[in-house]
Chains A and B, each alone.
Chain A
Amino acid sequence: QKEVEQNSGPLSVPEGAIASLNCTYSDRVSQSFFWYRQYSGKSPELIMSIYSNGDKEDGRFTAQLNKASQYVSLLIRDSQPSDSATYLCAGGAYSGAGSYQLTFGKGTKLSVIP
C-alpha cells in the first residue's frame, strides 16, 4: 500500500525565517514528487516538482529528494505571511493500468507570523 506521510502541523515560523516541510513515503514505486500549496477553499497549486535525487531550487523554494531514505522536503526561505497555507506532498507513479496517479499526504499547515 503506497503511503505518503506528513506532519499535519501547524508549523509556525516567524516572518523572514526558513520554513522546512517534510514528507516520507513508504514504497519505492513513486518516481517523482510534487509539492502543492493550498489556501483555504482554493485549488491545490503546484509549486515544485522533483524527479531525481538532490536539490531543486526555484526562487525562495527548494525541494530535496532522497530516494534511498524515502524522504522529500520543501524549504521556503525568507518566509512571508502570504506563504501561510497548507502544503501537500504527493508522489507520482504509474498504475498497472498505465495511469499516472498522485498519492497525497494529509498536508502540513504552515503559519508565518509577522
Chain B
Amino acid sequence: EAGVTQFPSHSVIEKGQTVTLRCDPISGHDNLYWYRRVMGKEIKFLLHFVKESKQDESGMPNNRFLAERTGGTYSTLKVQPAELEDSGVYFCASSQERRTEAFFGQGTRLTVV
C-alpha cells in the first residue's frame, strides 16, 4: 500500500511568487491534514479536510494560504504571494474515518528567498 505522497520534495521560490504543494493521501483515507514545521519550532497544525470539506482551518497563518481538496482525493496548498516567513517543511498526513492514527508524508521543504 502506497503511503502519503507529497510533491515537490523541495521548492525554492522568490518572495512574492506563488507555490503550490500537492499531497496524495493513502487511498481510502477520508481525513487529510496539513501541518508545518518552521525552523527551530515544532510541527504545527494548519488544517483538516474530511473528504472534500474543510473541518478546521484554524491553523492557517493568513489568507495568503489556500488549501483545496477537490473530489476528496488529493489536496493542494497554495501560498500566494510567498513571504520569507513561509519557509519551512510542510507535511501532509492522512487517517481513516474515525481513526486517530495519522500517517505522514515526507514533507515539502519550502524555501522563500
Chain A contact residues, CB within 8 Å of chain B: 4, 32, 34, 36, 41-46, 49, 88, 90, 92, 95, 97-107
Q: Give the 3 A-B residue pairs with the shortest CB-CB distance, closest first.
A: A99-B56, A97-B56, A43-B106
Task: Indicate the size class of the contact surface on chain B.
Answer: 20 to 34
B92's nearest neighbour on chain A, judged by CB, is A43
Whether B101 contacts A46 by the Cβ 8 Å rule is: yes
Mask, B2-36, CB within 8 Å of A = 1, is 01100000000000000000000000000101010
Interface Cβ pair total, 8 Å cutoff: 59
A99's nearest neighbour on chain B, judged by CB, is B56
Chain A neighbourhood of B55, CB < 8 A: 97-99
Subset of 26 A-B contacts with CB under 8 Å: A32-B100, A34-B102, A41-B106, A43-B104, A44-B91, A46-B101, A46-B104, A49-B100, A49-B101, A88-B43, A92-B100, A97-B55, A97-B58, A98-B55, A98-B56, A100-B100, A101-B45, A101-B48, A101-B59, A102-B43, A104-B35, A104-B42, A104-B43, A106-B41, A106-B42, A107-B42
**Min CB distance, B41 to chain A, in Å?**
7
Chain B contact residues, CB within 8 Å of chain A: 3-4, 31, 33, 35, 41-45, 48, 55-56, 58-59, 91, 95, 100-107
Whether B100 contacts A36 by the Cβ 8 Å rule is: no
- Interface of A, secondary structure class, is strand
The complex places the Cα of A46 from the Cα of B100 at a distance, in Å, of: 11
The complex places the Cα of A41 from the Cα of B44 at a distance, in Å, of: 18
- Known interface pairs A44-B91, A97-B56, A99-B48. Does A105 touch B104 (Cβ–Cβ under 8 Å)? no
Residue among A41, A99, A100, A105 with the most chain B CB within 10 A? A99
Whether A46 contacts B103 by the Cβ 8 Å rule is: yes
Residue among B56, B91, B95, B107 with the most chain A CB within 10 A? B56
A100's nearest neighbour on chain B, judged by CB, is B100
